[in-house]
Amino acid sequence: MRMVLLGPPGAGKGTQAAAIKKRFGLAHISTGDILRENVKSCTRLGLAAKRYMDAGRLVPDDTIINMMRERLREDDAGSGFILDGYPRTVAQAEELGVLLKEMGLCLDTVVLLEISDDDVVGRLGGRRVCSNCGAIYHVAGHPAEKEGICDSCGGSVIQRGDDMESVIRERLAVYHAETSQLVEYYEKRRLLRRVDAAGPTDAVLTSIESPKVIM
């Protein structure tokens, strides 16, 4: 199965993707994670992307498109994938369509996680992540057992710079300006399913397990 997860920052794309990956053994491909790894190890890509990420703006399309062209050709993507954070613009969506066509593949489904802006600010403002393994915590909903220390790997649990409220508001503005056009784009192609992001954590799994989708 090849699917795209859409939704504003904080809708829970990463969490849902992890559950789907576990159930179906798909590759979980997160552009945000790939970019952050590149920033961490100071690659050319990371250096080019960092200032956009820190400001909550989108990294330019050609940079992202080249990065994903390589990523989608790696072996693990061959048996299916979940795209988390890509595409983010109509240009990226068109490019993804071209690339999949070249590979003789197509998308099976696009899931839109719906959530209000205020709920996003509540979720992301309290989000903390493990700087070592990427585990996600929330100061109110799911704190680490020992403050600042990851339950699973002992790494340090921090707040991402782009989870500061002013940057969250900017990310939401970018989402409404650019990414929300993808809803219409995929609706026209009859690929879109809407899922309430405030609902049960397995809501996406339930949605894609409905009989229409062939694994």
Alpha-carbon distances of 83 from 7, 22, 73, 87, 205, rounded to whole Å = 12, 15, 13, 8, 15
Q: Which of the 8 DSSP states describes residue 130?
A: E
Among 64, 93, 113, 120, binds ligand ADP (CB under 6 A): 64
Alpha-carbon distances of 151 from 12, 14, 136, 145, 147, rounded to whole Å = 20, 18, 10, 6, 10
User: Would residue 73 show up in a list of annotated catalytic residues for this protein?
Assistant: no
Among 2, 88, 123, 128, the active-site one is: 88
Among 24, 39, 52, 180, binds ligand ADP (CB under 6 A): 52
User: Would residue 13 show up in a list of annotated catalytic residues for this protein?
Assistant: yes
Alpha-carbon distances of 174 from 7, 159, 178, rounded to whole Å = 12, 21, 6
For the record, the structure tokens of 209 come out as 């397990």
User: Would residue 71 show up in a list of annotated catalytic residues for this protein?
Assistant: no
Instruction: Outline where 81-164 has alpha helix (H).
Output: 90-102, 117-125
Q: What are phi and psi of 143, to 5 degrees?
A: -75, 155
Least distance in Å: CB of 17 to Zn ion? 18
Among 29, 32, 72, 182, binds ligand ADP (CB under 6 A): 32
Among 13, 36, 123, 128, the active-site one is: 13
Distance of CA 191 to the CA centre of its chain: 18
User: Would residue 160 show up in a list of annotated catalytic residues for this protein?
Assistant: yes
For the record, the structure tokens of 75 come out as 């072996």
Alpha-carbon distance of 159 to 125, in angstroms, equals: 9
CB 3 within 8 A of CB 82: yes
Residues 111-170 that bind ligand ADP (CB under 6 A): 162
Site string for Zn ion, 129-148 (x = CB under 5 A): -x-xx-x-------------
Residues 147-166 that bind Zn ion (CB under 5 A): 150, 153, 155
Least distance in Å: CB of 133 to Zn ion? 3
User: Would residue 22 show up in a list of annotated catalytic residues for this protein?
Assistant: no
β-pair partners for 83: 4, 29
Stretches 83-91, 105-113, 134-142, 201-209: which one binds ligand ADP (CB under 6 A)?
83-91
Applying CB under 6 A, the residues found at the interface with ligand ADP are: 9, 31-32, 35, 52-53, 56-59, 64, 85-86, 88, 92, 162, 171
> Looking at the annotation, which residues are catalytic?
13, 88, 127, 160, 171
* Residues near Zn ion, by CB under 5 A: 130, 132-133, 135, 150, 153, 155
